[in-house]
Structure 1
């Protein structure tokens, strides 16, 4: 029995999971996945008139959402620094502008999100109309950040495709340059895969703030599934980054 327990507790997957969970981003994405699954499942139960069970999952969703706001305190400054670094770093004009726009959008979103959190825990009390306004502004900034991210993805994908086409079309007869070209192609393909995955995340996530501010009217079931999928994709990215797998 002790041997079996040891094999389970010390299993490499358990160790890798603990490494991911030891990072703030890893925990956030895990909690987000559970939060959005709870959002979907509460909607599913409510539509089948299981009101007591739905209330339990709604409570889990709400508390995870509030806890994640606490974990994000301080992140606005990270996005502001990223925006300033993008200003100072030479790059393609389109990619540079969209990067700045994305980071400023997320800075605004997380700044107002912190205000929403402080009001929710009664650290200070806002009028209901003021709290609702702060929440709407946060979601507008979130939407702006995602839209800039989508635009950035389009521009970067086009540039990477052109670079890959040029490398593929070039003829190399010597072994050394051939190896270098293959390495460059592999690096470009890795970047293109990253851009594609981020595009999928953005194109699903964009409907959440869009619904929150009334631009579209998706139900909690759809938004819960979208949020769960993007959370799992982001958690997978963090898993690969932390555990050094490519």
Structure 2
């Protein structure tokens, strides 16, 4: 009995369990988790349907739809966060091109989430839209989403280029004093970390861009591929949240 209690204590109070609860205690942590399950369900529904398992596919498709609706509810009020971020970016000093793309990205996400809120209100019958209006609102949401990702990709490329040039300047500079050498090494480490973050987000954006592009009919990618891309980008986003919660980022 004592051994069983000890094992239970080790499992329940394990640091990984505590950390998982800490991450899932945040809205962003839950959203990334639900998103990963949602896109896995999208992939699995496609896989089952392609093999003729219609009943099983319907079960996973229903889970995908309910998770998508639940995530829209969790994002209520989030458009204003992006509006504030756009305002802060406009007021803060910075590289003009990066500043413009940041503002464009935040305003695009504001437009996306605002229209996505209307989609949710219509889906739960809180506010009824005409079918034609509902389709137009959904299309606008995806257009804003796509433009936000494109702005994010452009920002990532601009930032990566600037950081690469700064790294070259730091490496080629002559430093005679020991204190200056230490300062350069610190700046180089910070530069490398910033470049790694930019590359990481760039990969997420390259995976996510196919989702609104497919919804808008710009590309013809099946739900299986879109689902896998969504799972990978969701897990990458969840990893960022995990590292942020542990203070390692």
TM-score class, shorter-chain normalisation, is over 0.9
Would you say 1:112 and 2:104 are equivalent positions?
A: no
Between the aligned partners of 1:37 and 1:168, the Cα distance in structure 2 is 44
Cα distance per residue 1:79-126 (max 9 Å; x no partner): 000101111111111101000100000000000000000000000111
Between the aligned partners of 1:128 and 1:5, the Cα distance in structure 2 is 54
Question: Superposed, which structure 2 residues align to 1:91-240 within 5 Å?
Answer: 91-240=94-243
Tell me the number of residue pairs that the alignment of Structure 1 and Structure 2 aligns.
246
Single out whichever of 152-161 and 163-172 deviates more from structure 2.
163-172
SS in 1 for 2:125: coil
Could you tell me which runs of 5 or more consecutive residues in structure 1 were left unpaired when the two chains were aligned: none
Would you say 1:60 and 2:63 are equivalent positions?
A: yes
Could you tell me which runs of 5 or more consecutive residues in structure 2 were left unpaired when the two chains were aligned: none
TM-score, normalised relative to structure 2:
0.97
**Runs of 4+ more than 3 Å apart:** none
Between the aligned partners of 2:53 and 2:246, the Cα distance in structure 1 is 41
Would you say 1:31 and 2:65 are equivalent positions?
A: no
CA-based RMSD of the aligned residues comes to: 0.8
State the 1:174 CA deviation. Answer: 2.7
TM-score, normalised relative to structure 1:
0.98
Between the aligned partners of 2:142 and 2:46, the Cα distance in structure 1 is 22
